[in-house]
Amino acid sequence: MAEPARRVTVTHPRTRAARPGRPHAAVRDVHEQTPLGEVYVRALMRTQLRLALLVCGAVCLPLACLPLLLLGHVGVPSGVRLWGVGLPWLVLGLPVYVLLVTAGLCYMRRAERHERDFVEHVHRS
């Protein structure tokens, strides 16, 4: 039987990963893909999936309601112009991009926090 490939990490000497420290058994478990490492990684993936579905729902619900707003059910007059642009285009454009950028930033911050928590949990184990 062939041996599994060994992982090698190449880092710059000034990074935290390259600094000498005590080896952590749990980190080796994750890297070697032992059953414990698989459990940790699956838990992280479930957490990230939950976050992605939550952000997707938070973005899709307002976007799905926007056509109703533009159809006139809420009363956005199509003849009104601001700064030379029709009001429906402003209602469609500005909030949508603000929503998407805000959701993207929130997702990134939470996903990075989950990954930091994962690393801290693995180091404590």
Which amino acid, one-letter code, is at 61?
Answer: L
| pLDDT value at residue 24 | 47
- In this predicted model, what pLDDT tens digit does every residue of 62-72 receive, in sequence order? 888 877 766 76
What number is the average pLDDT over the span 48-74? 83
| pLDDT value at residue 75 | 58
Query: Percentage of residues in the chain with pLDDT exceeding 70?
Result: 65
- In this predicted model, what pLDDT tens digit does every residue of 88-124 receive, in sequence order? 777 677 888 899 999 999 999 999 999 988 888 877 7
Model's pTM, two decimal places?
0.61
Helix and strand numbers (H, E) in the chain are: 3, 2
By CB atoms closer than 10 A (0-12, 13-18, 19+), residue 67 is exposed
